[in-house]
Amino acid sequence: MSFEMFVQHLFNALTLGSLYGLVAIGYTMVYGILRLINFAHGDIFMLGAYFVFFGVTLTKIPWGIAIILAVAASAVCGIVIDRIAYRPLRDAPRISALISAIGVSFFIENLSLVIFTGLPKPVYQPEWLVEIISFGNVRILPLALIVPAIAFALVGGLLWVVYRTKPGLAMRSISKDIETTRLMGVSVDKIIALTFGLGSALAAASGIMWALRYPQIHPFMGVFPGFKAFIAAVLGGIGSIQGAMVGGMLLGLIEIMAVAFFPALSGYRDAFAFILLIVILLMKPTGLMGEKLEEKV
Amino acid sequence: MKTKETPRYLVPSLVAVALLALFIWWANSHLDNYKIQVLNLIAINSILALSLNLIYGFTGMFSLGHAGFMAIGAYVSSLLILPQVQKDMIYIIQPLAWPFSVLQAPFFVAVLAGGLAAALLGLLIAIPVLRLGGDYLGIATLGFAEIIRVVFTNLTPVTNGALGLKGIPDYANLWWNFGWCLLTLFFMIRLVNSNFGNVLKAIRDDEVAARAMGINTFKYRVVSFSIGAFFAGIGGALMASLVTTIDPKMFGFLLTFNVLMIVVAGGLGSLTGSILGSAVITVLLEWLRFVENPVDIGSFHLEGIPGMRMVIFSLLLILIILFRREGLMGMRELSWDAILRRFSRGGETR
Amino acid sequence: MSERAPVLETKDVTIRFGGLTAVSNFNIAVPRGGIVGLIGPNGAGKTTCFNIITGFYKPTKGEVLLEGKPITGLPPHKVCEAGIARTFQNIRLFYNETVLQNVMIGGFVRQKSHWWMHPLMIPSCTREEKDLRDRAMALLESVGLDNVADETSNSLPYGAQRRLEIARALATKPKFLLLDEPAAGMNPQESQELMAFIKKIRTDFDLTILLIEHDMKVVMGVCEYIWVLDYRILIAEGNPEQIRSNPRVIEAYLGEEATQNA
């Protein structure tokens, strides 16, 4: 493989990894607080992309505004889902909430199928985003630079919220001990809603950027990225935001590089993530950067 | 609680089986193909629900990998009953690998082989994965099911890859399906009503206490998982023969979701619930077809045209989990005891 | 203390969790057929010792011997198989099962049939299941719960649940029985009955019994020998009189003894 090809693959991996990482953060935050795998998270990713699509084609609002509104709308969706489908089950056995999440995920996917139809929709791509830039023999899309930049900016912003604000402190406190936090007067439900909101916003941003990179959207576009992002979260250490980003990058790298070096394996591309998951769960379930979330016996 | 298997109730049970046989005989000559198809689906879904219920409802292991076991059962069985001519015809990209190209078996053996192959895989998966708890187990088993699916899509010399298998002999009629269903039910009843069955429930209820009472919980979870995988393989094998066409895409998470739905709706931890749930959900799924669009129902529902049907379906699951988590039967069973008590006033108390 | 070989011995058992030493140099030797007690203020490490003996924790140092044979580090189910049964501080019944089923589950460890025998209707298995059921009913009779055999265990009142837990432990045919605060939540009348019950099962089932208990009346009334744990180490051992008048023990319990007069 030529050096130029390698660099191009690297940028691809960076982009893909950033997108996985952004979604992974939402999974890791919710799991850290509620010990719940939010199956519906990948579908927020999809909704973000569709909201932009409809914002632009139906209402003719400027593309940039549409993005902001879409992200906000997705955040609201995440909060609503928690309120309706997860909050009533806070005291139920954990698996109940998980089953509810699975139900919500299927519901959103199929409702989208009914409303948007399964026909993939083309996404508006501003020219400047898809005009190829060249560095010598290396040719990349501007997206390959912008996506990681935005991703890291968003993560930076999130980390600022989590580590430098009171609500962020409350979030961290809840993930350590929810009962004590409640006893200290924190409105736990509001903080949980905030967590869902932030995570969903990031997932929506990721979905929107994904749609710019792979400009065909369809109702099930969030399924595999969702699974893989969750695996990335586990890889990086469930409960750790930085870990989720690291895990996402690593997963993106593995996926792109494995197929780049062994093209015969391209059919198995989707299986890599799952194989990786099994391996991590067996060897180091706490992931690369995570803490033990032990059950008290 | 005495249930259908206690010798005292041998006669009522045999009568019930005879009635079922009579009904099947009648149905074969009097019902149209569509209704027969639905009955076939009910039987097969019952087997699938019973197998998942054993793993999840009775032993407490949240496994999302059922589609993977079904896939194994379906492919192994189909490869054994496909006539040579058909094999030559459908393997157009790469010829079928040896020994599959020469192996043939009668239907009963093929289905059994499907079950055994699935059980073997279940055993292999269980040993590393059952150490994980709760939701991680769900994701890991889901992961394995997806890996199986991807492997089948790529293993063209064996599975014919994405093209799948066509023209599978349709041996799976009412007699075979309900026959296997009765066999499964009998096995499950005997298993669940023995002390071993109590032990599985104990593992579900309080693993720490179970271990303190001398129970090797890991070993028996593996056993339960493998038995569940076996019957899932049987169900998959029968399904393949029923729909005569299979491909890897069929065995995705949606398939597991449907079985999970039946088990939850029927009642986790109730064998009766799984049978009832299967009947109710299968009929509901078919009935819902008319709610959306009249559609040719030659192929079976899970290959499905998605639409309002699934929207209502998933909404139903959410509602059940939110408002009636125990489903139809909870953990209760329908037993001859209970039936007789209802019919004789002031029946004897146990 | 009798000269007979001890049923259970622990030798210098120590356990550390991370940086914290939860129990240090735990040394006891329980004579066959004795009823003995392990007492100490809350948090002293008593249940931790139980968890080590029953295999739930592996000690960092030291040995546990059952009838002279080492069982250190064996998993809990093997420890039970070897002959040690226990009850739990917070009752751990199988709450979705009936009273009878709970006891039968206790009897599983002594069953010879395999899981596949019942579905195949093998006669020896059917017979064994019936015998187990009869034995379980007999055990329920001895604790006075045979009339509620088919009730779900979570419908029983608290005291009955404790008795059921003991019956379940007895079903495992133990040589050595660990009772973790069996008198917790009982009124004086129930405690008296419990004391008589413990003495009775010791004789009827040929047991050696070690109990953790806070109720001093029960401890002094039923234990023949007592070990005292405070802040994770043994501070005293002896018969009830010796313990009652031991200044270190009194000091450890200061405040607690004021409310439970020995």
**Range of lowest pLDDT (A177-181, B137-141, B312-316, C254-258):** C254-258
Domain identity same for C123 and C250: no
pLDDT at C153: 94
pLDDT at B291: 64
% of chain A beyond a pLDDT of 70 = 97
Domain identity same for C35 and C110: no
d(CA B87, nearest CA chain C) in Å: 37
Chain C environment of B331 (Cβ under 8 Å): 96
Q: What is the mean pLDDT of chain B?
A: 88
Interval B58-70: pLDDT, tens: 999 999 999 999 9
pLDDT at B294: 52
pLDDT-derived band at B217, boundaries 50, 70, 90: very high
The C-alpha atoms of residue A140 and residue A147 are separated, in whole angstroms, by 12
Q: Which residue, among C147, C221, C227, C140, has the nearest Cα to C183 in the 3D structure?
A: C221
pLDDT-derived band at B350, boundaries 50, 70, 90: very low
**Range of lowest pLDDT (A27-31, A257-261, B170-174):** A257-261
Q: Which residue, among B38, B47, B39, has the nearest Cα to B259 in the 3D structure?
A: B47
Interval C10-37: pLDDT, tens: 888 988 888 888 888 899 999 999 999 9
Interval A119-155: pLDDT, tens: 888 877 777 777 777 777 777 778 888 899 999 999 9
Query: In this model, does residue B2 exceed pLDDT 60?
Result: no
Domain identity same for C26 and C130: no
Q: Are B164 and B89 in contact (CB under 8 A)?
A: no
**Domain final residue, candidates C171, C205, C224:** C171
Domain locations in chain A as residue ranges? 3-158+195-283
pLDDT at A200: 95
Mean pLDDT for C178-200 is 91
Query: Are residues B195 and C98, on separate chains, in Cβ contact within 8 Å?
Result: no
pLDDT at C125: 92
pLDDT at A82: 96
Our CA angle for A68, A225, A211, nearest 5°, is: 40
Q: Are B238 and B107 in contact (CB under 8 A)?
A: no
Cα atoms in the Cβ-side hemisphere of radius 13 Å centred on B167: 10
**Range of lowest pLDDT (B21-30, B52-61, B221-230, C252-261):** C252-261
The phi, psi pair for C260, rounded to 5°, reads -120, 95
Per the structure block, which two tokens stand in for A8?
Answer: 């191009």
- Closest-CA residue of C relative to B214 is C77
pLDDT at A297: 34
Q: What residues does C16 pair with on adjacent strands?
A: C21
Of B202, B216, B350, the CB nearest to C150: B350
Q: Which residue, among C74, C80, C35, has the nearest Cα to C57 in the 3D structure?
A: C74
- Closest-CA residue of A relative to B141 is A278
Cα atoms in the Cβ-side hemisphere of radius 13 Å centred on A44: 34
Domain identity same for C178 and C78: yes
Residues 185-204 of B with CB under 8 A from C: 186-187, 190-191, 193-196, 198-199, 201-202, 204
In a domain, C89, yes or no: no
pLDDT-derived band at A178, boundaries 50, 70, 90: confident
Q: Which chains touch B (3 or more CB pairs under 8 A)?
A: A, C
The C-alpha atoms of residue A65 and residue A30 are separated, in whole angstroms, by 28
pLDDT at C216: 87
pLDDT at B100: 78
Q: Which residue, among C184, C23, C209, has the nearest Cα to C89 in the 3D structure?
A: C184
Tokens 């019952």 — which residue?
B46
d(CA A245, nearest CA chain B) in Å: 20
Q: What residues does C180 pair with on adjacent strands?
A: C212
Domain with C133 in it: 96-171
Chain C environment of B195 (Cβ under 8 Å): 104-105, 107-108, 111, 129, 132
Chain C environment of B216 (Cβ under 8 Å): 75, 77
Estimate to the nearest angstrom the gap between the alpha carbon of C118 and the chain centroid. Answer: 32
pLDDT at B7: 59
pLDDT at B8: 65
Query: Are residues B209 and C94, on separate chains, in Cβ contact within 8 Å?
Result: yes
pLDDT at B304: 42
Q: Which chains touch C (3 or more CB pairs under 8 A)?
A: B
How many CB pairs below 8 Å do chains A and B form together? 111
Query: Are residues A88 and B311, on separate chains, in Cβ contact within 8 Å?
Result: no
Mean pLDDT for B202-227 is 95
How many CB pairs below 8 Å do chains B and C form together? 100
**Domain final residue, candidates C116, C148, C171:** C171
Quick count: other Cβ atoms within 10 Å of Cβ C226?
23
For domain B7-340, give the fold: ABC transporter involved in vitamin B12 uptake, BtuC (1.10.3470)
Query: Are residues B213 and C101, on separate chains, in Cβ contact within 8 Å?
Result: no
Interval C61-94: pLDDT, tens: 999 999 989 999 899 999 999 999 999 988 999 9
Phi and psi based region of residue B194 (left: phi greater than 0; alpha: psi -120 to 50; beta: remaining): beta
Of A88, A102, A275, the CB nearest to B322: A88
Three-state DSSP at C22 gives: strand
Query: In this model, does residue C258 exceed pLDDT 70?
Result: no
DSSP A267: G
Q: Which H or E run contains C69?
A: strand C69-70
Q: Are A130 and A139 in contact (CB under 8 A)?
A: no
pLDDT-derived band at C6, boundaries 50, 70, 90: confident
pLDDT-derived band at B4, boundaries 50, 70, 90: very low
Chain C environment of B194 (Cβ under 8 Å): 115, 118-119, 125, 129
Of C86, C97, C107, the CB nearest to B212: C86
**Range of lowest pLDDT (B105-109, C2-6, C54-58, C191-195):** C2-6
pLDDT-derived band at B335, boundaries 50, 70, 90: confident
Q: What residues does C39 pair with on adjacent strands?
A: C228
Interval A235-257: pLDDT, tens: 998 888 999 999 999 999 998 98
pLDDT at B339: 74
Tokens 């709610």 — which residue?
B291
Q: Which residue, among C9, C11, C10, C53, has the nearest Cα to C31 in the 3D structure?
A: C9
The C-alpha atoms of residue A20 and residue A24 are separated, in whole angstroms, by 6
Chain B environment of A295 (Cβ under 8 Å): 133
Tokens 């929207």 — which residue?
B311
d(CA A205, nearest CA chain B) in Å: 25
**Domain final residue, candidates C171, C187, C205:** C171
pLDDT at B292: 63
pLDDT at B348: 47
Domain count, chain C: 2
pLDDT-derived band at C260, boundaries 50, 70, 90: low
Of A107, A268, A271, the CB nearest to B311: A107
- Closest-CA residue of A relative to B265 is A99
Query: In this model, does residue A60 exceed pLDDT 80?
Result: no
Query: Are residues C121 and B208, on separate chains, in Cβ contact within 8 Å?
Result: no
Q: Are B165 and B96 in contact (CB under 8 A)?
A: no
pLDDT at A208: 93
Domain locations in chain B as residue ranges? 7-340
Query: In this model, does residue B36 exceed pLDDT 60?
Result: yes
Q: Are C169 and C201 in contact (CB under 8 A)?
A: no
Interval A92-121: pLDDT, tens: 888 899 999 999 999 999 999 888 887 888
Domain identity same for C63 and C181: yes
pLDDT at A50: 92
Query: In this model, does residue B73 exceed pLDDT 50?
Result: yes
Question: Which of B152, B263, B314 is the best mutation test for A, with the most CBs of A within 10 A?
Answer: B314
- Closest-CA residue of B relative to C51 is B212
Query: Are residues B264 and A113, on separate chains, in Cβ contact within 8 Å?
Result: no
Q: Which residue, among B166, B9, B139, B138, has the nearest Cα to B78 in the 3D structure?
A: B166
Mean pLDDT for B282-308 is 66
Mean pLDDT for B17-43 is 91
Residue C108 at interface with chain B, using a CB cutoff of 8 Å:
yes
Interval B258-269: pLDDT, tens: 999 999 999 999
Q: Reduced to 3 DSSP states, what percent helix, strand and coil does chain B have, rounded to the nearest 5?
A: 75, 0, 25
Per the structure block, which two tokens stand in for A227?
Answer: 């699974």
The phi, psi pair for C245, rounded to 5°, reads -100, 5
Query: In this model, does residue B26 exceed pLDDT 60?
Result: yes
The interface predicted TM-score (ipTM) is: 0.90
Domain identity same for C235 and C184: yes
Per the structure block, which two tokens stand in for A207?
Answer: 């979905």
Q: Which residue would you say has higher pLDDT here, A29 or A267?
A: A29
Residues 202-241 of B with CB under 8 A from C: 202, 204-206, 208-217, 220, 223
